[in-house]
Structure formats: structure tokens, C-alpha cells
Structure 1
Amino acid sequence: MSAVTASLCSTLMFVLFVSADQKIIKAESGQNVTLTCRAPNNNIRVLEWSRADLGSEYVLLYRDEHFLMDNQHPSFKNRVDLQDRQMKDGDVSLILKNVAINDTGTYECRVFMEETWQWQSINSTNLHVVPPGFNADMKYDLGPESVPCAIK
């Protein structure tokens, strides 16, 4: 392999770091997905579902039995709901309807507890959305012919 060819070749590697308590969900686009989250009790003043890459916008903000839409990211409008709006037994799970590839990301569930008057991060969920019919667990061997920099 010449120096020119070697300089044109690069390796692309994806590394995903996931903490032990982080959940991973794989879904096909078009499906409805439930991101589970359970708070320690029912004394929840505010519930927030967010995704770090959205900046100051959020996926869902729920306070006093109402959804607050002011800073909700536009891609989530009319596509999110709570599994239980009464949040019985601390169930604050999020239903994300008609997922798309752009919904891929790490979602964080946080609650503002009445008794402590502090935010508490409950969990985070990594959602990976793939096109319909694509098996996210399948490994593909394209062979050396499809790799332009392979040494033959």
C-alpha cells in the first residue's frame, strides 16, 4: 500500500459507553416505545424527561397534572404521553409514539420531590431506533471487496 493510499484510509469506530444502571431499548421506526421510570414515591411536584442533545428544550415537562409546552422540543409535540398521568406508585414512564431515527439518544427521567424540594435524577435510557425491517443485533460482513482500503 502506498503512502498516498494509506493517508486516504481511515478507521471509523463507534464506541458506546453505557453505565450499569442505564437501560437500552432498541426499536424500529414507526413503533410506540415506553421508556420506563419509577420515582421512589408519589410526592412528585414536577416530572421532566429530557435528552442532553436538545439543550434547554425538553421531551416532556409535567407539573400539577398538566403538560407544559413552552420549551418542549418541536419534534416531540403531540407524540409523548405518560403511561399513568396520576403517577400511581411513582410510575412516571414515558410513551413515545411513532419513533423515528432522529429519536435515537439518551433520555433522562428527573423528578422534583415535594418532601425534599430538590431534583432527583431517577434513570437514563438509551434509545436506538433503526429503519423498519433492520435487525439492530445483526452483524454484517461486507467482505474485503466492499472495503476500499483493504489490503488484498
Structure 2
Amino acid sequence: MMSASNVSLCLLACFLSFTVSTEITVKPGDDVTLQCQSPRGAAITLLEWSRPDLETDGYVFFFRDSRSYEHYQHPSFRGRVQLRDPEMKDGDVSVILKNVNINDAGTYECRVLAGSTGRELINTINLKVEDSGDTAGDISAGGHKDEGEKNGGHNDENMQRCFRVIVGLSVTFLLLVL
């Protein structure tokens, strides 16, 4: 049988390793920020932004030992990706993808090696690129013109999932304490 402290540590580990998954919709030609937050105060020794759905090698963005390496990038991303905050203050390892095109649609993953922890998946983003003629921006079709920005790029399903996890962990913790 697990003690209350072991269960608390297990819950804390689950909560800290919880990755965020978001969906963002943009138009071709837009710049988009792919957000990712590593632990505050940790020394970031490696940052990888990748597209697992690409069939070839290469990163969206690769950073190691205090500098980025463009030659490790997939050719379609060279010259179009930069850190939002080059100093990565407060653990902000977000990148800006410039001049988005239809081929940029897909799943993006942010992995960080910080301090003594292993390389960790922090965030997954599903990027959709849609022309303005789509019904996604048509209010009469049930869409919302600024839907991608309205929730900071989060869709309702992901927000609900996050809320359920937080409530579940909170209730479990309260039950253990009582």
C-alpha cells in the first residue's frame, strides 16, 4: 500500500509531466507564434522544435549550448523560424514561424533539456492553415472570425481536457489530505 506522501509525489510528477496540446488556425502569409514554456529558472541546454509528421529529417528549430543551428533545420523552415525571446527569460522557448504556407500545416512538438532533467516533451501544437475563403472565419456558418486568437490558440476541447485534469488532480489531492 502506498503512503500518502508517495501518492502525493506520484500526483505531482504526473502534473509536472503533463504536456499541453493546442490547436491554432492561421491564414497563408501570416506569422504565427508556437508557444512553449520550460521550467522557470532552469538552464536550457537543448531546445528542439520538430514536425514528426514530416517524412524527412530536420528540425523546425534546433538550439543547443546557447546558440541555434540552422543547418539542422528542415530546408522548408530555414530563415523563417526564430525564438520569440532570444534570452529565453522565464523559460519562454516559443518560436515565431514567419510567412506561413499551406505546407506548414501539421503537428509541432517542443522538447526541452533543462538542468539535470532528461529531454522532455513540453508542448504539442496542431497548426491548421486555411485560406480566408474557408467557413472557419464565416460567422454565419458557426465559426468565429478570430477563433484562433480568441482563446490564445486553444480550442475548446483542449481547454476542457486541461480543466478536467486539473479538477481531477485537485479532488484526488483533497481526498488524500482528508
Q: TM > 0.5 between the two?
A: yes
Structure 1 residue ranges, 4+ long, deviating more than 4 angstroms after superposition: none
Q: Deviations over 1:92-138 (max 9, x none)?
A: 0010000001000010000012222x101101000000124434355
Q: Which residue does 2:96 correspond to in 1? A: 95
Aligned mates of 2:63, 2:20 — CA distance in 1: 24
Aligned match of 2:115: 114
Q: RMSD of aligned C-alpha atoms?
A: 1.9
CA distance in 2 between partners of 1:136 and 1:21 (Å): 23
Q: Distance in 2 between matches of 1:104 and 1:135?
A: 17
TM-score between the two structures when normalised by the length of structure 2:
0.62
Q: Cα gap change, 1:81/1:135 in structure 2, threshold over 3 Å: closer, same or farther?
A: farther
Aligned length: 120
Q: What is the alpha-carbon distance in structure 2 between the residues aligned to residue 96 and residue 105 of structure 1?
A: 13
Q: How does 1:1-152 map onto structure 2 within 5 Å?
A: 21-41=20-40, 42-54=42-54, 55-116=56-117, 118-136=118-136, 138=138, 139=141
Counterparts of 2:81 and 2:100, CA distance in 1: 10
- Taking structure 1 as the reference length, the TM-score comes to 0.72
Query: Shift of the alpha carbon at 1:70?
Result: 2.5
Unaligned runs of 5+ in 1: 1-19, 140-152
| Letter paired with 1:104 | A
Secondary structure at the counterpart of residue 136 of structure 1: helix
Q: Which range moved further: 47-56 or 97-106?
A: 47-56
Whole-Å separation in 2 of the counterparts to 1:23 and 1:38:
13
Three-state SS of the structure 1 residue aligned to 2:124 is strand
Does the residue aligned with 2:20 lie in a helix, a strand or coil?
Answer: coil
Partner of residue 172, structure 2: none
The 8 Å contact of residues 45 and 66 in structure 2, kept in 1 or not, is answered as: no
Amino acid at match of 1:119: R
Q: Which moved more, 1:38-47 or 1:125-134?
A: 125-134
In structure 2, give the amino acid aligned to 1:123.
Answer: N
> Structure 2: where are the runs of 5+ without partners?
1-18, 142-178
- Give the structure with the higher percent strand: 1
Flag the structure with higher helix content.
Answer: 2
Contact 2:36 2:92 in 1 (8 A): yes
**Partners in 1 of 2:63 and 2:52 — Cα distance?**
18
Q: Judging changes above 3 Å, is the alpha-carbon distance between structure 1 residues 115 and 34 closer, same or farther for their aligned structure 2 residues?
A: same
